A and B are shown apart, each in its own frame.
Chain A
Amino acid sequence: MKLRKTSSLLALGLALGVVPIAPPSALAASTEERIRLLEQQLKMMQGELETLREEAAREKAEAERARKEQENKTNVVAETVDELKSAMTIPEEIELEGQYGLAPAASKVYKRDRGLSIGGYGEIVFRKPTTDRVRTDGGVTVDQTRSDAQRLILYTGYKFNDWIIFNSEVEFEHGTTEPTVTEGSGGEVSIEFAYLDFLLSEYANVRAGLVLAPMGIINEVHEPIGFFGVDRPLVDRTIIPTTWREVGGGLFGNLLPSLTYRMYAYNGLNAVGFSPAGFRGGRQNGTEALANDWAFIGRTDYEPVSDLLLGTSVYAGNSGQGQSIESDSGSQVRIPSSLTTIWEAHGQWRWRGLEARAMLAMSWLRDAGQLTTALREIGELDDDETIANQMLGLYAEVGYDILPWILPDTGQQLLPFFRYEYNNTQLHVPSGPSFMADGEFQDRIWTIGLNWKPIPQVVLKADYRDWNPVTGTKADTVDLGVGFIF
């Protein structure tokens, strides 16, 4: 194109420049000649310009066509990627189908097969007793500084179809199952729950298998991000012996959108494991459990507003399990039926950066005197140990996220917290000269600490626990922990 422009200009220059200066007589003729030449040149240039215009228009049209083609290609690719992206979670069109006997419009749920679900959590802790009240026994320090890979849990669930779901938790405790040279070491691998859910309706569904006891705040939701301290509250070890699981089954559902319930027939505790410290030893954990005595366990939770949850639960059943055990003297000792009742009430409240939880648990044990005598006879209790017929435990904890005051845009959380616990597993012991409450199991514990959550799934914890038993001494502890869920 440049060449053409140059040639046109040269032609014009020649037309103007090469015409010789002529005498006046010849001027008219030469002027006419020049005009003719110029006209010719002008026509030539017009032709050239027209050609240029046509070429430019062609090129523009070509560029526009290429741009449109490119845009179309990009749109097709983008559309396809977009469809693939959304199709991974939602279909283009949804089919209505009836569920649980309801009309399609009332159960507009399209279920999709993604059978396997995996999750987990873990917590690793460090505990250091302070030196002022470290217990010693015959010159040997009882309370030791320890670190512990306390828990690693793997959840697996499997959805067989739209209404049958399997759910399980396998727990690895304390690093390894093999004891090491360190006294008190060695952990265990346990199935914490393994059950089937049969989803029938919003109001009533069936659950059966190895099931967590639906009591308190911690037993069902015991992930480390869900409570403040490095350790769970003491009442959640003694009166509600977390993690408490037995074989059972029953119903669960929502009576109202904000009112849930669970109620099961539940394999009873085994009273032979009861101690002055509480019910923890009475758990059978679904391992060849004695199943002569069954209990009722039920719970309801009410959420009047989305940041407040109030609930209560009750357990009632015999714990004797129909046992007769041979004593050291060779006689058969019958374990009394030991009707065990546990009741608790709990609440959780969140308001902006504030989080508060509280729980009160009480228990009543019938035949506590007979049980104490029987357990002494078979060597499960010392003569100065007594099983209480009433226990009481409570705790309240409150924390506040201070980080928004320092870094307004942060998604992290930093929560100083305070917890008060009262735990009395010897609240009321049977009357009689041989029964006596042991003040060592009547504790008041104050805990202050700090939780840092860099992301919601990860928590780093530090706290100081001040133990105050009625009698004896217990070391205060400094505790550190890391916890995570996924």
Chain B
Amino acid sequence: MLGPAAGAAVYHGKQDALEAAFPDADEIETKRFFLTEEQREQVQDLAKAPQKDRLITVHVGKKGDRILGYAFLETHEVRTLPETLLIVVSPEGRVAKLLLAAFYEPPEYEAPKRWLGQFDGVELGPGLRVNRDIKGIAGSTLTAHAVTSGVRRVLALHELLLRNEDSTQE
């Protein structure tokens, strides 16, 4: 094994990440949702991935009255250490942007930018899995699975908490 070089890289602070999420926004509003146990299970069912948190924070990018998207800071464990992704979901429920904000595993396991690029525009569906619509990463299997599960979770949260809100605003 090409080792677990202990590393820890933080590429974006929270504010910096949110600015990158919505460079054109007039305003970024923070919304918090408290999931009921039933909602937590619904997210898991939709995502087909574990959802531990019941406190969900969403940063809503706005330009005038128009919603540009919803930004989530999704943190999960890769192998034994965490990574944080900034995932922006469009009002239609597609991934609009995905940035690696922090990666605490050894750098060898880090997903290349080019690989992360394949999530642009994806939506929640059975194909959103490694080795289906999502290609694997040679030598970083766990990272590929962790990122994909994180994206599924975020899209499921959008579906459950924000999809109706979008439709009422249209």
Contact = CB atoms under 8 A, between A and B. Distances in A.
B90 interface: no
B49 interface: yes
Contacts of A413: 131
Interface string B117-138: 0100000001001111101111
B142 A117 contact: no
A165 B7 contact: yes
B84 A89 contact: yes
A157 B4 contact: yes
B126 A348 contact: no
Contacts, number: 185
Interface in B76-90: 79-84
Contacts of A307: 135-136, 138
B30 to A, nearest CB: 8
Contacts of A81: 55
Interface in B130-165: 130-133, 135-139, 141-142, 145, 149
Contacts of A195: 3
B37 interface: no
A224 to B, nearest CB: 11
Given A353-B131, A409-B48, A410-B48, 12 more contacts: A89-B82, A89-B102, A89-B104, A93-B16, A94-B10, A110-B13, A117-B7, A155-B3, A212-B1, A257-B114, A485-B79, A486-B80
A221 B16 CA distance: 36
Interface residues of A, number: 74
Contacts of B1: 121, 153, 155, 169, 212, 220-223
B126 A409 contact: yes
B12 A221 contact: no
Interface string A75-98: 100110110011011111110000
A401 interface: yes
Contacts of A472: none
A111 interface: yes
A257 B115 CA distance: 11
A350 B2 contact: no
Contacts of A88: 75, 82
A75 B158 CA distance: 21
A288 interface: no
Contacts of B142: 456-457, 485
B68 interface: no
Contacts of A352: 131-133
Interface in B54-96: 55, 57, 73, 75, 79-84
Given A90-B102, A91-B14, A110-B11, A411 B49 contact: yes
Interface in B1-52: 1-17, 32, 34, 48-49
